[in-house]
Amino acid sequence: MDFRVGARTLSILSDISFDLTDAEIAVIVGPSGSGKSTLLGLLAGLERPTRGNIVLDGTDITQLSEKEMVHFRRAHIGYVFQSFYLLPTLTALENVALPLELSGDGHAHRRAHELLAHVGLADRVDHYPVQLSGGEQQRVAIARAFAVSPPFLFADEPTGNLDSATGEHIIALLLELNRQQKSTLVLVTHDPSLARCATRTLVLKDGRIVSDDAMTLR
């Protein structure tokens, strides 16, 4: 993955190659600037690689048009951002229901209610993001990401803006939903608690994978 900066070309990622299995829990770790978030954005189709291919669920997403990518992402990918990115003018319920409505689900609000209850926010469905704590906003973001039961869930530092107790709750919630929905879970993190929960650890350094270890879930 290259970026142009004036007359210079900066290589952010190079020689990246790996496969993921169904329902795997993989973490991407490495020092700041190693390309972790860029790699996650590429996997989720939020960015396009300069060269190479990315295949998700049998589809080469690098060959999709922008419109096709939007439809593919809507049906196959959930994404949890560190900064939540909830729509401020929508309630918690409306934020979670939105991807369901876009996918044509006629029971979007009922499903959104169920998801918010599952993440412990049954009494906060009518609250706007500004009325929620950071941990509550992250739980809404997770419910939204899992709304359409995507086969892939990507999360960029999902505990990065949270205190340790709230972060532990978010980790438990992600792992529980992973077990229930069998989504392949890929996370970028600096949180050692989250890294210890993975079955696979990819270590990036200077834009390359320097270690790829599978482990028994502990």
Say whether pLDDT at 54 is over 60: yes
At 112 the pLDDT is 95
| Separation between Cα atoms, residue 71 and residue 98, nearest integer Å | 14
Q: Is residue 126 part of a domain?
A: yes
State which residues form the domain around 73.
15-214
Nearest to 37 by CA among 28, 45, 26: 28
Give per-residue pLDDT as tens, 130-168: 999 999 999 999 999 989 889 999 999 888 888 888 888
Say whether pLDDT at 87 is over 60: yes
Q: What is the pTM of this model?
A: 0.85
Say whether pLDDT at 107 is over 80: yes
Q: Is residue 79 part of a domain?
A: yes
Q: Is residue 6 part of a domain?
A: no
Cβ of 4: how many Cβ atoms within 10 Å?
A: 9
CA 109 to chain centre: 22
Task: Report how many domains make up the chain.
Answer: 1
At 215 the pLDDT is 61
Give per-residue pLDDT as tens, 3-22: 444 455 556 688 888 898 88
Q: Is residue 9 part of a domain?
A: no
At 63 the pLDDT is 93
Q: Is residue 4 part of a domain?
A: no
| Separation between Cα atoms, residue 212 and residue 184, nearest integer Å | 17
CATH number at residue 154: 3.40.50.300
- End-to-end alpha carbon distance in the chain: 34
Q: Is residue 42 part of a domain?
A: yes
Q: Is residue 185 part of a domain?
A: yes
